Amino acid sequence: MDFLGQHLSFATMIFLLLALGLALSFEFVNGFHDTANAVATVIYTHTLKPIYAVVWSGCWNLIGVLFSTGGIAFAVIALLPVELVIHVGSAAGFAMVFALLISAIIWNVGTWYFGLPASSSHTLIGAIMGVGLANSMMAAGHVFGEGVNWAKASEVGMSLLISPIIGFVCAALLLLLAKALIKRPELYQAPEGNKPPPAWIRGLLMLTCTGVSYAHGSNDGQKGMGLIMLILIGILPATYAVNLDTSQTSVQEISQSAMAVADQMGSHAPGIQTPTRAMAVDELSNFLKTTGVMTDQTFPSLHDECLEIYGMTDGKKSLSDLNTEERRTLRTDLYLVSESLNKLIKQHKLNAAQAKDAAAFKSKMEKVTKFIPIWVKVAVALALGLGTMIGWKRIVVTVGEKIGKSHLTYAQGASAELVAMCTIMAADYYNLPVSTTHVLSSGVAGAMAANHSGLQMDTLRNLLLAWVLTLPVSVLLGAGIFAFGLNVVIRLGLK
């Protein structure tokens, strides 16, 4: 059957719909967890009634998703094995996508059922690591562990580890600072019955709730967007392999830069025999692995891939002039060249002038490959909002009632949310995925500790256990489901 100008078999169409449904389900369940944290303080301080709070938060999540850059979406994709990213439409690519989504959904739903605010970010990254490890075990000629981008994983892991500490410490310090500077006793009181706080406090808490919701949408929403783009690129390459809205001027700039960088790469390996395209792709794919090192074929391969990009873009008015296979090939070449140049720059293998040209070329290429259609952003935002509206209560009860021994005060809620908002926005700037759940829950605990309100140690032990188990459980789920899924899709005839 035809879909968006491409002929798809019935089985492939079912895979497409099922994969998109799972990706949106992941964001829907994400709404149970992370977005619910954003409304906990306004609900438990009676600033807003629950129905108004979740709708308000959902709207600002939508706005956050719509204004997101997409950088985090592709930072998450960078954790995946190179060969699965460039062959996402293969059997292994399909198995990878399903393993990531199913394992993340299983753990998220399980922790939500018990009212534990676990991290969707941790869950997804653990599943990615599991897929990488399983792929390195199952693929011929692979070294165990090389399927995981350990450098990127450690960078992301560090942000996920540090952000809860920042949440706890900064929320505690902010509360103490507020007590020293703002001498308004009503700010430090717990709500009386169902009575809403004074107008200025309501305004403060609505502002912080809005900030956390917006920041959550701009950060967490991108993870689902990245997975949806992988699905679309693999199944509908004619439409989504490259950005067909790229202007003629941009296409020609890429063409000119490709030729210039090709000459520079060729100058590093004079007299070395030029590899075939298949050999060049294999060389750069191996170079980009965690264990990958530069060989005497790396620069010639980059030279050839740059010439390939030049040949496909020179004189073209639009990328629409390329056929489906050419678009798929162009995306692979752009991805390999961009990531390889980035690795060479980091390893200081290029001189200053070459590094500058390579970085400029990389930026131009990424505009063609790292794009997210508006309908994908809207779909993800709606899934997040609906998840919050339906599953908010279990997580909100934990944050509002079970972390501290006394009721959440206005100042404690505002401190935790303000710190969470600032932490997530800072992570956005550096394209780092962080957990709204961890930052905000830690912030509430920090504010409670600073106020000597007492902490419910049973709840904290359960939270810590869930946080500690999230990564290893997700790794095992991701690896197991990937191995099972790969056998299934191969039996269904998908190559």
Identify the residue with better confidence: 359 or 230.
359
For range 157-168, the mean pLDDT? 79
CA distance 80 to 371: 18
Q: Mention every residue, 6+ apart, whose C-beta is less than 8 A from residue 266.
A: 299, 300, 303
Q: What is the pLDDT of residue 274?
A: 72
CA distance 333 to 277: 10
In terms of Cβ atoms closer than 10 Å to its own Cβ (0-12, 13-18, 19+), residue 137 is: middle
Any bridge partners for residue 3, and if so which? 6
Q: What is the pLDDT of residue 139?
A: 64
Q: For residues 40 and 395, is the Cβ–Cβ distance under 8 A?
A: yes
Percentage of residues of the chain with pLDDT beyond 70: 87
Task: Give the H or E element holding residue 3.
Answer: strand 2-3
Report residue 308: phi and psi, to 5°.
-65, -45
Mean pLDDT of the chain: 83
| 437: pLDDT strictly greater than 80 | no
Any bridge partners for residue 455, and if so which? 404
Residue-wise pLDDT for 324-351, tens only, equals: 889 999 999 999 999 999 999 999 999 9
pTM of the model: 0.81
Identify the residue with better confidence: 357 or 292.
357
Any bridge partners for residue 7, and if so which? 2
Write a three-state SS string for 403-451. Answer: CECCCCCHHHHHHHHHHHHHHHHHHHHCCCCCCHHHHHHHHHHHHHHHC
Angle between the 298-313 and 324-346 helix axes, to the nearest 10 degrees?
140
Identify residue 468 by its one-letter amino acid code: V
In terms of Cβ atoms closer than 10 Å to its own Cβ (0-12, 13-18, 19+), residue 201 is: buried
Q: What is the pLDDT of residue 227?
A: 86
Q: What is the pLDDT of residue 17?
A: 87
Residues in the chain: 495
Q: What is the pLDDT of residue 146?
A: 64
For range 105-130, the mean pLDDT? 80
Lowest mean pLDDT among 60-69, 103-112, 116-125, 388-397: 388-397
Q: What is the pLDDT of residue 152?
A: 62
CA distance 223 to 44: 29
Dihedral (Cα; 299, 304, 310, 311), 10-degree rounding: 180
Identify residue 432 by its one-letter amino acid code: L
Hey, CA dihedral for 375, 376, 378, 383, is it positive or negative? Answer: positive
